[in-house]
Amino acid sequence: MCEALNQPWTWIEGGVSAPQGFQATGVKAEVKYKDKYDVALIYSEVPAQGAGVFTRNKVKAHPLVLTQKYLENGVAQAIVANSGNANACVGEVGDRAAEEMARTVAAALGIKREDVLVASTGVIGVEMPIERVVQGIEDAAEILKASEMEPAWTPLKKVENAHQAALAIMTTDTAVKEFACELPCREGVIRLGGIAKGSGMIHPNMGTMLGFITTDAKLPATQLQDLLRQAVDQSFNMVTVDGDTSTNDMVLFLANGESGITPVGEEWVAFQEMVNSLCITLAQEIARDGEGATKFLEVQVNGATSVEDARKLAKSICGSSLVKTAMFGEDANWGRILAAAGYADAEFNPSQASIYLGDCLVAQDGQGVQFSEEVAKGILTQKEIKISLVLKDGEAQATAWGCDLTHEYVTINGDYRT
């Protein structure tokens, strides 16, 4: 999370409860483990506009199907999510469990069942321990209701509670992914919050990725959907891939309008940038937290024919096992980078391609150039490595994020070049 020059918005605390009218909490319901937060509840005090982006996997988890249905009208007021069980591939009992989760939230918070979005993450094909989840939801709702009743409820407590929601959606994640920011506007302030989970080796077939985003901006659902779609395409989809994801992946976005502000003109542009930055920052954190990762990789492609091709090239390089092991092995093996671009199923002219590791040019016009192995080593020993593929085919650019591939596989591949 970097502060860009002249960036009109700032990072703040509070995660998904930072925007006005939102509250969130997490509880320990023993879905799979004892003493782990595993049920998260996010709630808007008023019905909100809702948008979602979902996995393209042909096999869809039960809560995902329900959430897609409930989102058809573009209205939502709560998100309930559990870790420890994916509620996928268990048949009708799974459909009923997802409905039961929505019903419990609705009853406990006094809202419409159809305004509750449901998400799950965990093992596929095992029946949900629905009684424990229901109990967890009721406990979570109690906490949120207490906060409404209690004027002395401190902002700090609100932040702590929202943090527990972020904890509750984690599975093999080692770090919480939670951010919030605010944009000063002429008529006040718009706030934005987001949490995410997603571990696995990151691409090609990671574990479930979930993202929940809240804002108090006032936007119609269709605009919210477009905003989310374009943000996801340059963020979450650049660490994972729609076509390569799990049965449960989803990113949800609620806008409750409580700021009273509909950003337009420059403020709309700034708001859009803030949403993109939040999503990119969450996506980067997912990449950084790849299982067993020791290095964070950023792959930038410039000069591509189209944004689509630039994205394919960046993701192909970032997802290549051979590139990832070379980075772990701190080996400036640019041939693997070019080869991974070669099978990206994207149009480009390899004989005009240049490759940089950090600022160090290692290949030009599709062939190696003389470079200082020492300088390259200096770059590759860093915890964060930037790989650039510079083409002369067009103007399009894209960035993907990932991590290195470590250990045993590397003892074979990491030193292949030297």
Other CB atoms within a 10 A radius of the CB of residue 292 amount to 12
CA atoms within 13 A on the CB side of 96: 8
- The reply to whether omega before 204 is within 30° of 0 (cis) is yes
Instruction: Select the residue interacting with a copy of itself from 45, 226, 244, 273 (CB under 8 A).
Output: 244
The vertex-198 CA angle with 197 and 203, nearest 5°, equals 160
373 binds a copy of itself, rule: CB under 8 A? no
214 binds a copy of itself, rule: CB under 8 A? no
- 3-state SS of 193-236 is EEEEECCCCCCCCCCCCEEEEEECCCCCHHHHHHHHHHHHHCCH
Instruction: Select the residue interacting with a copy of itself from 155, 184, 220, 243 (CB under 8 A).
Output: 243
Instruction: Select the residue interacting with a copy of itself from 70, 212, 348, 401 (CB under 8 A).
Output: 348
Residues between 194 and 213 with contacts to a copy of itself, criterion CB under 8 A: 200-201, 204-205, 207
Q: Does residue 144 contact residue 105 with C-beta atoms inside 8 Å?
A: no
338-376: burial string, b at 16+ Cβ within 10 Å, e else:
bbbbeebebebeeeebbbbbbebbbbeeeeeeebeeeeb
What is the rounded distance in angstroms from the CA atom of residue 198 to the CA atom of residue 214?
Answer: 18
Instruction: Select the residue interacting with a copy of itself from 97, 282, 363, 380 (CB under 8 A).
Output: 363
Instruction: Select the residue interacting with a copy of itself from 18, 31, 86, 97 (CB under 8 A).
Output: 86
Q: Does residue 194 contact residue 279 with C-beta atoms inside 8 Å?
A: yes
Nearer to a copy of itself, 230 or 364 (CB): 364
Instruction: Select the residue interacting with a copy of itself from 161, 256, 333, 399 (CB under 8 A).
Output: 333
339 binds a copy of itself, rule: CB under 8 A? yes
List alpha helices for 116-154, DSSP H.
130-149
Nearer to a copy of itself, 3 or 343 (CB): 343
List alpha helices for 289-405, DSSP H.
307-319, 321-328, 334-342, 373-380
Nearest to 87 by CA among 39, 135, 138: 39
Q: Least distance (Å) from a copy of itself to the CB of residue 415?
A: 11
What is the rounded distance in angstroms from the CA atom of residue 12 to the CA atom of residue 399?
Answer: 25
75 binds a copy of itself, rule: CB under 8 A? no
Indicate if 208 belongs to the active site: yes
87 binds a copy of itself, rule: CB under 8 A? no
113 binds a copy of itself, rule: CB under 8 A? no
Residues between 29 and 48 with contacts to a copy of itself, criterion CB under 8 A: none
Q: Does residue 240 contact residue 205 with C-beta atoms inside 8 Å?
A: no
Q: Give the list of residues 6+ apart from residue 91 with CB closer than 8 angstroms, or none.
A: none
345 binds a copy of itself, rule: CB under 8 A? yes
Instruction: Select the residue interacting with a copy of itself from 335, 358, 378, 394 (CB under 8 A).
Output: 335
Nearer to a copy of itself, 6 or 343 (CB): 343
Residues between 312 and 331 with contacts to a copy of itself, criterion CB under 8 A: 319-322
Other CB atoms within a 10 A radius of the CB of residue 298 amount to 18
Annotated binding-site residue? 408: no
Long-range contacts at 411-414 (CB < 8 A, ≥ 24 apart): 413/321, 413/322, 413/325, 413/326, 413/329, 414/325, 414/326, 414/328, 414/329, 414/331
- CB under 8 A: which stretch of 13-21, 67-75, 244-252, 298-306 binds a copy of itself? 244-252
Catalytic residue among 25, 104, 208, 399: 208
Nearer to a copy of itself, 237 or 245 (CB): 245
Residues between 280 and 319 with contacts to a copy of itself, criterion CB under 8 A: 291-292, 319
What is the rounded distance in angstroms from the CA atom of residue 248 to the CA atom of residue 254?
Answer: 19
Annotated binding-site residue? 418: yes
- CB under 8 A: which stretch of 38-46, 50-58, 212-220, 258-266 binds a copy of itself? 50-58
56 binds a copy of itself, rule: CB under 8 A? yes
Annotated binding-site residue? 208: yes
Annotated binding-site residue? 291: yes
- CB under 8 A: which stretch of 71-79, 133-141, 228-236, 408-416 binds a copy of itself? 408-416
417 binds a copy of itself, rule: CB under 8 A? yes
* Crossing angle of the two packed helices 307-319 and 334-342, in degrees rounded to 10: 130
Catalytic machinery residues: 208
Residues at the interface with a copy of itself (CB under 8 A): 56-59, 86, 88-91, 123-126, 172, 200-201, 204-205, 207, 243-247, 291-292, 319-322, 333-336, 338-345, 348, 350, 363, 365-368, 405-409, 412-413, 416-417
